[in-house]
A and B are shown apart, each in its own frame.
Chain A
Amino acid sequence: MIVFLQVMVNGILNGLVYALVATGLSLIWGVMDVINFAHGDYLMVAMYTSFWIGALLGVDPVLSWIVSGAFLFLIGALTYKLIIRYTVGRSAISALLATFGLSMFLKNVCLYLFSPNFRLLSKTVLGGKTIETGGVIFPVPQLVTALGALVVIVLVYYMVKKTRLGWAIQATAMDKEAAELMGIDTERIYLLVFGLGGSCVGIAGGLLPSYLAVHPEVGLLFGLLAFVIVAMGGFGSIPGALFAALLVGLVESFSGFFIAPVFKYVAVFALYLLVVMVRPKGLFGW
């Protein structure tokens, strides 16, 4: 029973981190119909930001996520201003190719600046700490990262559903022209959504160096899982992303332990294919 609970805890903790990474992608995708191919690389940039703040200034990831979140808001907003803006209204492939180019750019800049070396913060406030309850171990770095992710997701969801800004975002997502007729500055909304999307992944990336090594390829699998989660949860649905991310985390954890570790991503992608076949708009899609 303890083993079962431990596997479940690991799955939930991982799933919550995936959820925060996917929430940013879901927002951008849901509101703007833009597939941000550079989303995984945003995570990598955020991890580097947090790592260097830790390595050079001695600030722990428990605090530096604030800077990574803000920095990635800026990167997201700049991405919109300098790249995405020119692809709005054109074929969907143009935004996809543009963000693919951005992905290559970010990866190679980091490769050039920081080399392909794996970088790990040796001493962190949370590093190596655990909480044990009834034989089940909660690794503190993962626990804090997961709780942080949950708080941010709830805040983003509240903002979208309960504030005037959120209503404006929803209106823009539903019908851009109608929203403009209502006086909503859709250009500003797009800018904000891209910034917010960046911020979500920035916060996740800011927290991850507590336990994960940083290197230029680190965002690859996270980015891929985020796409799977958004497609499974339903485009633009934050509860959908949260539910799908938890599902991915649990499937990964249970199949990894009870079938074989090497099978865990096979199970995740098989589940994705199943959901896409049975319900192409995703579990919470509309």
Chain B
Amino acid sequence: MNKVSSRRFLAVFAVVVLLVGTLAGAGFAEEKVIKIGTLFPLTGPVATAGQRCRAAVETAVEVINNSYPNMNIPLAAQEGILGGHKIVLVHADHQGKPDIGKAEAERLFNQEKVYAIIGSYNSAVTKPASFVAEMQKKIFMCGCSSSAALTERGFKYFFRMAPTDKTESHEFVEFMKWMNETRGSDFKTVGIIYENTEFGKHAADEGKAAAKDAGFEVVADVPFSPGATSMNSEVQTLKAADPDVVFGACLGGDYTLWVRTMKELNWLPKAALNYCTGYQDPMITRQLGDDANYFSGGMGYAPQFAHLMPDVAPVEAIYKEKTTPSVPFDSDSIQEAVAMFILAQAIEKAGTLDYDTVAKTLHENVWDSPLSLGGKVEFAPDGQNIRARSFLTQLQDGEYTIIYPEEFMQAEPVVPMVPWDKR
């Protein structure tokens, strides 16, 4: 072998060795990965909310995969779980459509081979997507889908972090009773406006049941098609019935249209209490400006709760970098981060990826959750987080202000709402 040939041989040999080393390294790294699927509406009418939910899960994964010793969050001090396994996310978009959600859940499990799915924001999509997981005996972590029906199916591998519409409905009527007793508000009648979807219909059913049980009369039941070009008929129906309190389940652009149409038709109830909807979206309320004030709704988180949840701030700083435009956590997105943290904690505690063991671990333990109001997560046999809490807030001067329960009250509730012509 002459000098040139031997040099060439050495060069080729070095390249081969490096290549083999790299591939072997990649193979090794691949073994230390746990793939988790996210399934949110990244396009379509509620895409903004979906993209924020995705950013929240990404934030949680960043904290879990890297070391943040200064954060007072479980798993933040270590890198990865199960002895260095990193979590890798595979994102899917269901566009707010149940059929696409089901197909994407199947794709995530069967083709992408994800370990579990986190999602899906819309209750209507969470229902079939989690059914796919249950059939395959795989875990589905649900952050904020609020339809109570989701945890009434007897599923073993389904876990939900947020309070349900049922919980919120009870909070609404408790608030109304408290206002009647302590403030003489004289609430007697209730109207309900809701989008005609899985989420809206269940919220309305729970709202009507809770109101009737508490002795309030439901005088208006107003479903509407989401994405409508106008909401004149809906608001006029409410105006004609003139309920004292309106329970609202209007998402995104429908919420702004509802508020503005009420202004145009110069009508307001004494109080408007909103489920998990456009009310909780800080960007929408900012765009509505002064018109957004004095509306109310249940919230599991708002930046104004910072003094009650001091450990959220450093995590929220990461989240803000992942959202465009930069926004703080909202009541929905933070629940998706909680879902990721709790799943990771359960895998770590179980010490295995065996589905039954992890599901059993999830059921049998009370989890530390600094991102949850109340600080703990605990699942009932049906998969509902029984420690889930929310406060009733009211927008006052553009700030989410806690008005109920009384021990956490930040300001006196403005009831009746200030009329449009006096603002």
Which residues of A are at the interface with B, using a C-beta cutoff of 8 A?
3, 6-7, 10, 14, 18, 111, 115-120, 122-123, 127-128, 130, 132, 137, 139, 141-142, 211-213, 215-218, 220-222, 225, 252-253, 255-257, 260-262, 264-265
> Which residues does chain A contribute within 8 Å of B232, judged by CB atoms?
7, 10, 14, 253, 256
Q: Is the CB of B224 within 8 A of A262?
A: yes
> Which residues does chain B contribute within 8 Å of A18, judged by CB atoms?
229
A115 vs B54: C-alpha distance when bound (angstroms)? 14
Known contacts A116-B43, A261-B224: A213-B253 contact under CB 8 Å? yes
Q: Could you mark each residue 24-44 of chain B with 1 if its beta carbon is under 8 Å from any beta carbon of chain A, else 0? A: 000000000000000000111
Known contacts A115-B324, A142-B264, A261-B222: A14-B288 contact under CB 8 Å? no
The count of residues in chain B whose C-beta lies closer than 8 Å to any C-beta of chain A is 41
- 27 A-B pairs within 8 Å (CB atoms) are namely A6-B265, A7-B232, A10-B230, A14-B229, A14-B232, A115-B47, A116-B45, A118-B256, A120-B256, A120-B284, A122-B287, A123-B289, A127-B260, A128-B260, A137-B264, A137-B265, A215-B45, A215-B253, A217-B44, A221-B227, A222-B229, A252-B230, A252-B233, A261-B222, A262-B196, A264-B225, A265-B225
> Which residues does chain B contribute within 8 Å of A217, judged by CB atoms?
44-45, 227
Q: Is the CB of B288 within 8 A of A116?
A: no
Q: Does B266 contact A (CB under 8 A)?
A: yes
The residue from B51, B257, B263, B264 contacting A116, defined by CB atoms under 8 A apart: B51
A211 vs B257: C-alpha distance when bound (angstroms)? 8
> Which residues does chain A contribute within 8 Å of B256, judged by CB atoms?
118, 120, 213
> Which residues does chain A contribute within 8 Å of B283, judged by CB atoms?
117-118
> Which residues does chain A contribute within 8 Å of B257, judged by CB atoms?
212-213
> Which residues does chain A contribute within 8 Å of B236, judged by CB atoms?
3, 6-7, 10, 257
Q: Is the CB of A262 within 8 A of B230?
A: no
A73 vs B173: C-alpha distance when bound (angstroms)? 54
Q: Does B106 contact A (CB under 8 A)?
A: no
Q: Is the CB of B225 within 8 A of A262?
A: yes
Known contacts A14-B229, A215-B45, A257-B237: A118-B287 contact under CB 8 Å? yes
Q: Is the CB of B223 within 8 A of A260?
A: yes
Q: Is the CB of A261 within 8 A of B234?
A: yes
A141 vs B265: C-alpha distance when bound (angstroms)? 12
Q: Is the CB of B229 within 8 A of A221?
A: yes
The 7 A-B residue pairs whose C-beta atoms are closest, nearest first, are A256-B233, A116-B47, A139-B264, A10-B232, A120-B287, A213-B253, A262-B223
Which chain A residue lies CB-closest to B278? A118
Which residues of B are at the interface with A, using a C-beta cutoff of 8 A?
42-45, 47-48, 51, 196, 222-225, 227-234, 236-237, 240, 252-253, 256-257, 260, 263-266, 283-284, 286-289, 291, 324, 420
A265 to chain B, nearest CB (A): 6
B178 to chain A, nearest CB (A): 31
Q: Is the CB of A130 within 8 A of B222?
A: no
> Which residues does chain B contribute within 8 Å of A141, judged by CB atoms?
264
Q: Is the CB of A119 within 8 A of B229?
A: no
A169 to chain B, nearest CB (A): 29
Known contacts A213-B256, A262-B225: A128-B287 contact under CB 8 Å? no
A118 vs B283: C-alpha distance when bound (angstroms)? 9
The residue from A10, A117, A122 contacting B48, defined by CB atoms under 8 A apart: A117
A123 vs B265: C-alpha distance when bound (angstroms)? 18
Which chain A residue lies CB-closest to B284? A118
The residue from A111, A142, A220 contacting B43, defined by CB atoms under 8 A apart: A111
> Which residues does chain A contribute within 8 Å of B231, judged by CB atoms?
261
A285 to chain B, nearest CB (A): 25
> Which residues does chain B contribute within 8 Å of A255, judged by CB atoms?
233
A117 vs B230: C-alpha distance when bound (angstroms)? 19
Which chain A residue lies CB-closest to B240? A3
B219 to chain A, nearest CB (A): 15
A262 vs B231: C-alpha distance when bound (angstroms)? 10
> Which residues does chain A contribute within 8 Å of B44, judged by CB atoms?
116, 217
A128 vs B237: C-alpha distance when bound (angstroms)? 20
A221 vs B51: C-alpha distance when bound (angstroms)? 23
The residue from A10, A120, A220, A264 contacting B227, defined by CB atoms under 8 A apart: A220
Known: A122-B289, A215-B252, A221-B229. 9 other contacts (CB 8 A): A7-B236, A14-B230, A116-B44, A116-B51, A118-B252, A118-B284, A130-B264, A215-B45, A261-B237
A133 to chain B, nearest CB (A): 13
A262 vs B252: C-alpha distance when bound (angstroms)? 18
> Which residues does chain A contribute within 8 Å of B227, judged by CB atoms?
217, 220-221
> Which residues does chain B contribute within 8 Å of A122, judged by CB atoms?
286-289
Q: Is the CB of A128 within 8 A of B291?
A: yes
> Which residues does chain B contribute within 8 Å of A221, judged by CB atoms?
227-229
A177 vs B230: C-alpha distance when bound (angstroms)? 44
A260 vs B225: C-alpha distance when bound (angstroms)? 11
Q: By CB atoms of chain A within 10 A, which of B196, B232, B260, B263 has the most? A: B232
A268 to chain B, nearest CB (A): 11
The residue from B48, B233, B288 contacting A261, defined by CB atoms under 8 A apart: B233
A128 vs B228: C-alpha distance when bound (angstroms)? 19
A141 vs B263: C-alpha distance when bound (angstroms)? 12
> Which residues does chain B contribute within 8 Å of A137, judged by CB atoms?
264-266
> Which residues does chain A contribute within 8 Å of B196, judged by CB atoms?
262
A263 to chain B, nearest CB (A): 9
Q: Is the CB of A257 within 8 A of B287?
A: no
A252 vs B420: C-alpha distance when bound (angstroms)? 27
> Which residues does chain B contribute within 8 Å of A218, judged by CB atoms?
253
> Which residues does chain A contribute within 8 Å of B222, judged by CB atoms?
261
B253 to chain A, nearest CB (A): 4
Known contacts A139-B264, A217-B45: A120-B233 contact under CB 8 Å? no
> Which residues does chain B contribute within 8 Å of A253, judged by CB atoms?
232-233
Q: Is the CB of A128 within 8 A of B264?
A: yes
Q: By CB atoms of chain B within 10 A, which of A141, A217, A218 has the most? A: A217
A225 vs B44: C-alpha distance when bound (angstroms)? 19
Q: Is the CB of B48 within 8 A of A116?
A: yes
Which chain A residue lies CB-closest to B265? A137
